[in-house]
Amino acid sequence: MRSVRDGEDWLLRLEEHEVLPDVLATWARDEGIRGAAVLAGIGLVRDTEVGYLREGRYETHRFVEPLELLALAGSIAWEGGNPSVHLHLTGSRADHSVVGGHLIRSTIALLGEISIRNYPGRTFRRPPIPGTSLSALSVGSGPGR
């Protein structure tokens, strides 16, 4: 991965074989990112597993073939001493049909370009939603409130 920063905006260039969301968690830890928004992502991915939330559980589907990454969005929080990356992915198949969902895992097939906005001085969290097995983003307090 290569990255460039301008203020609190980052542009990341992911390389073939890097795995989402793991590569973003490692980057966030290395850069000290504790609260950020993943604004956009494009590229080519493969071995993509996405989920659809149904009755409190994710039903997953795996797409082995390459997908043109049309959109990637989400957030980076901090939970249990580690980055917590939550992403949604939209991808196009070779026949131009579109698939997507909650990203479980995806491998960069050629390259990926991801835009991220950091919120310095903030630590986003993911506390549990009572009565479910899910958690929700909490932006908490910090500068700019």
Domain at 2-118, CATH from 3.30.1490.20, 3.90.1570.10, 1.10.3720.10, 3.30.1330.80: 3.30.1330.80
**How many C-beta neighbours within 10 Å does residue 51 have?**
15
Q: Is the pTM of this model over 0.75?
A: yes
Per-residue confidence at 144, pLDDT binned at 50, 70, 90? low
pLDDT one-digit tens code per residue, 10-38: 999 999 999 999 999 999 999 999 999 99
Question: Smallest Cα–Cα separation from 52: which of 43, 44, 61, 62?
Answer: 61
Specify burial of residue 64 (Cβ count, 10 A radius: 0-12, 13-18, 19+): exposed
Q: With a cut of 70, say whether residue 145 has pLDDT above it.
A: no
pLDDT one-digit tens code per residue, 76-135: 999 989 999 999 999 999 999 999 999 999 999 999 999 999 999 999 999 988 988 889
DSSP 138: B
